[in-house]
Structure 1
Amino acid sequence: MNKVKYYYDSETLSYRKIERKKRTTFKYAFMFILAASLFAFMFVFIAGQYVESPKTKALKRELQNMQLQYELLNKKMAHAETVLTNIAERDNNIYRVYFEANPIPEEQRRAGFGGINRYKELEGFDNSKLIIESNKRLDILEKQIVVQSKSLDEIAVLAEEKEKLLAAIPAIQPVRNEDLKRMASGYGMRSDPFTKVRKMHWGMDFSAPRGTPVYASGDGVVTRADNNASGYGNHIRIDHGYGYESLYAHLFKYNVKKNQKVNRGDLIGFVGSTGRSEAPHLHYEIFKDGSRINPINFYYGSLTAEEFNELLEHASLENQSLD
């Protein structure tokens, strides 16, 4: 219950009740509310500095987790960059050297992104620098991966082409060693068996019994299997592609026909003595870009080092050829 206050009136010589004006009451009420509001604001402000709300704690944990994730992402990107650098070095210094392809310039592999600011929307935040740097590294890494991926696709095509080339080159002896009587004559100046005059012998003569199997020395397509060339008798020509062609002459009979595809090691015919021949043997020639070359350099696919040295010794003798 509110207390009633009085004052002494000297004129009436009596006590009179003090009446509070409404304006004064409103003033006091306003000051009280203002003081209470200021107090509450200060309390909340001070409490906010030292006491975290659940929402604030959750946001801080989320921010710390984000920073941790970006740090882990940067470590993973650093590892990926190391691996990619190693692949790029092997690509330039091994794969492309082997397949005779130009290396990819370093500036092309590590080029950044020019022009407009790609990361403008990431600016203005507390961790903008971290976020922008991570995004830059990720974009550059992604571009490097694309460049390397295209390079490996190119290497795969080159490898496939190289594989075809290696399979096409006439690289084995057309008559097996166990079927040979002897290597009768090599490439070079030899004595003609009919005229006894020294002249150029453009191939190698492998002496073997009639009917001895003759094998394709490389992958290719049969372009001739006939006896319409002077002196060669029954003979076969194989186009291996890449400028290579092989010829097998004086055959007893064929095992292939024109336009037939053959693989290295396929049986294509049998040793004979048709055409201008003194005895059963295989006359073997190799052409590169239309010019005859020495077949002795193309037996790495079927002979051991000892067998090749022996063949080389016999081929170098200036004896009499068999055709």
Structure 2
Amino acid sequence: MSDTRCGVVAIVGRPNVGKSTLMNHLIGEKVSITSRKPQTTRHRIHGILSRPGYQIVFADTPGIHTGQERALNRAMNDAAQSALSDVDVICFMVDALKWTEGDEHVLGLLQRAGDTPVILLVNKVDNLTDKSLLLPHLESLAARFAFAEVIPVSALRDHNLDVLEKALSSRLPKGDFWFDDDQLTDRSLRFMAAEIIREKVVRQLGQEVPHQITVEIDIWEDGPKVTDIAATILVERRGQKKILIGDKGSRIKSIGTQAREDMERLIDRKVMLTLWVKIKAGWSDDERALRSLGYDHR
């Protein structure tokens, strides 16, 4: 019998409760992109935390949401809900004192998770002005479901993440590590580069261009000193392309500069980044297009 523990922990919840921020802070590196906009995470992304004696493979998932019937939304929900099967622990994250219909919907899905332990994470407790409201709220949440534990955390401020890590590692099955100690994710560098570009777009544009954009890496060539990367940002309408490019190309230039700096940190070498913007009408509601763009969790 192995002396080490290794298993998969799914992080689920409605959009924008801090799932990606939590995984990034637990691992200590930026594996999953973040923004204040809901549904920034579109894919199930695995982040790997290796410690002496155990390895936790986190499955960061898109926010589970209702009421949006585009093929992209269905693909995101499929990716999130599929993460509930074949995992060892589920972390259900909610936002401080809030409880919404979206949270209730996720809880309904968790009730079908069988014997898998579910830890409730009440995030953003550092934002509470009246701390006396927290304990009664935690008690009311604990009464909703047979949670293995209820842990108040701040993903952004690292509050109680050591408590969470201990709760997770103690529930992992015994077994050998799946990944090398220094590996942080199972995703490719090309995938990470595309996600970096998309993060910069989402952060810069706010609500001007909603989530009807995606990114494809067209060229990746490692030269002696510089890596040449060319990428295409796909939008659905001409007006979105105009907004994304900006006045005299100012916005796309800013996005490219920020993305290039992050890529250089990611691969630890100089990057020459070229960005193109193209219109692909209806891509986010076209299942064939979504599969070709990598939105198939299978």
Q: Specify if TM > 0.5.
A: no
Instruction: Give the TM-score range, shorter chain.
Output: under 0.3
- Which is helix-richer, 1 or 2? 1
Normalising by structure 2, report the TM-score.
0.21
Larger CA Rg, structure 1 vs 2: 1
The structure with higher relative contact order (CA 8 Å, sep 6+) is 2
